[in-house]
A and B are shown apart, each in its own frame.
Chain A
């Protein structure tokens, strides 16, 4: 039951003013600029873009500043802003083969054409705190090398040539869109991928980890992980042809999974796919694992009842804005609801007591 109650405006205004002051923190410490957040907290910016589902580093940096570094709050701000934008249209599907790779590694083939390019990775760091950073850091010098002129073909294409990997079915050129129509189950692969790519990193990571620990185990290898910039092309209706409208940095993860074959499919490798805005490697690998787990039906696998195989469970709980909205609303006034609960408990206690007394 909902009852409108007025009051508290002054308290709310004062709370917001205090929030703004706390956000700024100690004024003897220099204020952070949006550009500093964009450049120096780039991975937080990337996460906000991916889960906010809007590629705009400046806006994501602003959202992080405004939310005092609470990334889910920042994502909420971006989602809210996103809804105010008129939609000019949809892009052509990005061609990740054309990616200018900052990083490109394969866990399956050592000598893949294009090579193993580590890029700016945390992978081989010792995870020791670097106290030099606590002092003013100078910009370090970076080594360069002659640029390889060769292409970096997708590793999957080698397996494809041998027919050892499952085909990817084509789909409609205008895919279903979560942001335009309510999610209906069973969801198309397009809807699942859209939901996973904007889903909460922690949730998708947890789901992916559960598949590795044995809940719908599908034994994934990272055939390829690549990070870099790709052009975004869109057909401009008034021109009648497509032009690049920009460039986005993406992380793509393709997993290759063992598959014993089923009633409908021969033994072969199958694929899981992750593609996420920004440099978001953990999320892209997680996405690929969960994508693969959700494909049990189309590959004729058994449903072993694992959480990651349950489309409804995964898709309805992946979105951190939906989740936090519902979760956090329970802290808001429920005075009348609770009053009725209180009445009920008191009544039950009275009845129980009366019965007990009657029995004695």
Chain B
């Protein structure tokens, strides 16, 4: 195994992960805000932000699905070394990484009525992330917010499943925004 692949993890894991967690939580609590994160140097094509989310959220008990474009030996080795998360199919995934068009939305777990939290969180890698585009409203949003979303209907359908459903984190270089299942998109 190449040492290079094993680098790029958090330098000071407790501190870096706590900072990143705070950013991810803020992004989820206030959909439509864009948050900057740092601390990961993942192999390509993973963005820094996607790397930070994986390092912060994943462990041996959170299986990860990678779309073919992201499923490289380097990415697998990096995720395995730094998080010990098993790489799995979409159906069994707790987290998934991929571009919007490549993610098989209907294959992911949306949770059960007893345990709605047993659902997947999708890390959607985007080339562009800005606070212009679709209109968002719901918990954590005062009046309304806007965010560059790759789709509208898919998120509307997802919100209808509440309390079940998927949650989304959009990543672009070192920035991220989130769209939980509670947000109404129009």
Contact = CB atoms under 8 A, between A and B. Distances in A.
20 contacts: A86-B59, A87-B59, A87-B60, A87-B61, A88-B60, A88-B84, A89-B60, A89-B84, A90-B60, A180-B61, A237-B60, A237-B80, A237-B81, A237-B84, A237-B86, A238-B1, A238-B6, A238-B77, A238-B80, A238-B81
A89 B85 CA distance: 9
Question: Which range contains the number of B residues in contact with the other chain?
Answer: 10 to 19
A86 B58 CA distance: 11
Interface string B1-33: 100001000000000000000000000000000
A229 B41 CA distance: 42
Interface residues of A, number: 8
Interface string B52-90: 000000011100000000000000010011001010000
A90 B80 CA distance: 15
A87 to B, nearest CB: 6
A89 B86 CA distance: 11
Interface of A: 86-90, 180, 237-238
3 closest residue pairs by CB, A with B: A238-B81, A89-B60, A237-B80
Contacts of B80: 237-238
Contacts of A87: 59-61
Contacts of B84: 88-89, 237
Nearest to A184: B114
Contacts of B6: 238
Contacts of A90: 60
A55 to B, nearest CB: 18
Nearest to A238: B81
A86 B6 CA distance: 19
Nearest to B115: A181
Contacts of A238: 1, 6, 77, 80-81
Contacts of A88: 60, 84
Interface centre among A88, A89, A180, A237, by most B CB within 10 Å?
A237
A87 B60 CA distance: 7
A200 B53 CA distance: 40
Nearest to A180: B61
Contacts of A180: 61
A86 B1 CA distance: 24
Interface string B35-59: 0000000000000000000000001
Interface in B114-153: none
Given A87-B60, A238-B81, 8 more contacts: A86-B59, A88-B84, A89-B84, A237-B60, A237-B81, A237-B84, A238-B1, A238-B80
A88 B80 CA distance: 11
Contacts of B81: 237-238
Contacts of B59: 86-87
A88 B85 CA distance: 10
A90 B84 CA distance: 11
Contacts of B61: 87, 180
Contacts of A237: 60, 80-81, 84, 86
Interface centre among B1, B61, B86, by most A CB within 10 Å?
B61
Contacts of B86: 237
A168 B157 CA distance: 47
Nearest to A89: B60
A90 B77 CA distance: 19
